[in-house]
Amino acid sequence: MASDHPRKLRNGGAVTELSEHSHLVSLPTIGPSGGARATGLLAPMTALVGRDEEITAAIGLFRGDVRLLTFLGPGGVGKSRLAVEVAGRLVDDFRHGVVFVPLAPVLDPARVAETMAQVLAIAPRPEASIAEALAERLRGADLLLVIDNLEHLLEASPLLGSLLATCPRLRVLATSRVRLHLHGEHAFPVSPLSTPDPASAQTLSPERVGEFSAVRLFVSRARATSPEFALTAANAAAVAGICARLEGMPLAIELAAARTGVLSPAMLLARLGQPLDLLHGGPRDAPLRHQDPGARSPGATTCWKRTRNRSSVASRSSSVGFPWRRSRR
Ligand SMILES: Nc1ncnc2c1ncn2[C@@H]1O[C@H](COP(=O)(O)OP(=O)(O)O)[C@@H](O)[C@H]1O
Ligand SMILES: [Mg+2]
């Protein structure tokens, strides 16, 4: 990492699959030298809620000696959002900036190297394999590579291991539902957002309830649908109940909050006792993995496949198992 005299790694615009990240906007950061310093890094469309501790911790690890950090957690917990935020704040720590590689649309591990080469604008050469061309280009690079959504492509993770071994100033921030199990990997479990205890929320003021990150996210997304929405003494306990019922999972909270135009928090909470068919119909341009498969192809994945077979987020998430819960017991 270096903070002096930034140079550009390449002049390109962002190369990414916007269909997978349409809640974000492609916006290359321009460094002091005028070069693109954040290739493929996307500017979020909505404000980040909470996560101060996680951001400080992750930045601290990269400013220390960690070279491979993996944000771990189930789909919808906020790994990608956190990775974008951390990478954005580290742009000036790396002489060659940050490169964001979205892998969610890539289904074949054999195509990971090619996808990375595309984002880095490395042209194929007959005399070298793509992995060799990547290693050659990155050997002298002082760069943070963000590899988003690796869990379905674990067979390709040794490529990252060998790039880290041969490129001494390269660092990698990966997001995945499972560990990569690479040498030197620093696993960083991403927890759900903080939620009030619904039992004690009855006695808390709306201001106190509104201090929890999950509630702040709910209120902010509810306002996008119903600008007049506010946390009041009449609805604070129900909002706390919704956030607790959804276990602080940002994706589920966003989908629930989008319903406030038609349902009060109390009605929403009551419906959440029923099968999760309520939480469908999120943004049409949400990442494919986060969309309602009823409105998409049956191949759509993530929590929807699981939730539609179970009665609640609670049963889903406990069946999947939250590693941070286990470690705290
Ligand atoms: N801290 C946060 N503040 C605001 N929105 C968030 C936060 N964490 C996640 N989100 C939103 O929740 C949704 C799911 O988050 P995402 O990062 O895509 O989850 P994951 O990568 O773990 O599947 C996205 O729409 C994202 O923008
Ligand atoms: Mg993600």
Distance from Cα 255 to the centre of ligand 1, integer Å: 11
Verify whether ligand 1 is closer than 6 Å to residue 251 (CB atom).
Answer: yes
Q: Which residue type, as a one-letter code, is found at position 140?
A: G
Domain boundaries, the chain: 18-189, 198-324
Name, in order, each residue with C-beta under 8 angstroms of 176's C-beta and a sequence gap of 6 or more. 70, 71, 72, 79, 149, 150, 151, 154
Which of 149, 251, 292, 301 should be mutated for ligand 1, with most atoms under 8 A from CB? 251
Residue 68, beta-bridge partner list: 172, 185
Ligand 1 atom with minimal separation from the 81 CA? 17
Per-position DSSP letters for 140-163, written without gaps between them: T--EEEEEE--GGGGGGHHHHHHH
Strand order in the sheet with 38-39: 38-39, 98-102, 143-148, 170-176, 68-72, 185-189
Which of 81, 177, 284, 290 should be mutated for ligand 1, with most atoms under 8 A from CB? 81
Report d(CA 216, CA 220) in Å as an integer.
6
pLDDT, position 304: 37
Q: What is the mean pLDDT of residues 137-151?
A: 93
CB 251 within 8 A of CB 290: yes
Ligand 1 atom with minimal separation from the 175 CA? 21
Ligand 1 atom with minimal separation from the 287 CA? 18
Ligand 1 atom with minimal separation from the 75 CA? 23
Helices (H) and strands (E) in the chain, counts: 14, 8
pLDDT, position 280: 59
Name, in order, each residue with C-beta under 8 angstroms of 32's C-beta and a sequence gap of 6 or more. 6
pLDDT, tens only, 260-314: 989 999 999 999 875 455 565 566 666 655 655 444 433 333 333 333 333 334 3
Verify whether ligand 1 is closer than 6 Å to residue 23 (CB atom).
Answer: yes
Q: What are the φ and ψ backbone dihedral angles of 186, each rounded to 5 degrees?
A: -110, 110
Q: What is the DSSP letter of 248?
A: T
Distance from Cα 80 to the centre of ligand 1, integer Å: 7
Verify whether ligand 1 is closer than 6 Å to residue 50 (CB atom).
Answer: yes
CB 84 within 8 A of CB 44: yes
For the chain, first and last CA: distance in Å?
A: 37
- Mean residue pLDDT across the chain: 79
pLDDT, tens only, 47-96: 899 999 999 999 999 999 999 999 999 999 999 999 999 999 999 999 99
Verify whether ligand 1 is closer than 6 Å to residue 248 (CB atom).
Answer: no
Per-position DSSP letters for 250-263, written without gaps between them: HHHHHHHHTTTTTS
Report d(CA 272, CA 52) in Å as an integer.
29
Ligand 1 atom with minimal separation from the 48 CA? 3
pLDDT, position 286: 63
pLDDT, position 89: 94
Q: What burial class does residue 219 get, using C-beta atoms within 10 Å of its C-beta: 0-12 exposed, 13-18 middle, 19+ buried? A: buried
Distance from Cα 105 to the centre of ligand 2, integer Å: 11
> Which residue, among 23, 19, 16, 63, has the nearest Cα to 41 in the 3D structure?
16
Going from the C-alpha of 98 to that of each of 102, 122, 226, the distances in angstroms are 13, 16, 37
Report d(CA 260, CA 263) in Å as an integer.
5
Lowest-confidence region among 31-35, 93-97, 171-175, 205-209: 31-35
- pTM over cut 0.75: yes
pLDDT, position 201: 80
Distance from Cα 304 to the centre of ligand 2, integer Å: 14
Instruction: Say yes or no to pLDDT of 324 above 50.
Output: no
pLDDT, tens only, 225-272: 999 999 999 999 999 999 999 999 999 999 999 999 899 999 999 998
pLDDT, position 194: 97
Verify whether ligand 1 is closer than 6 Å to residue 97 (CB atom).
Answer: no
The CATH number given to 18-189 is 3.40.50.300
Verify whether ligand 1 is closer than 6 Å to residue 254 (CB atom).
Answer: yes
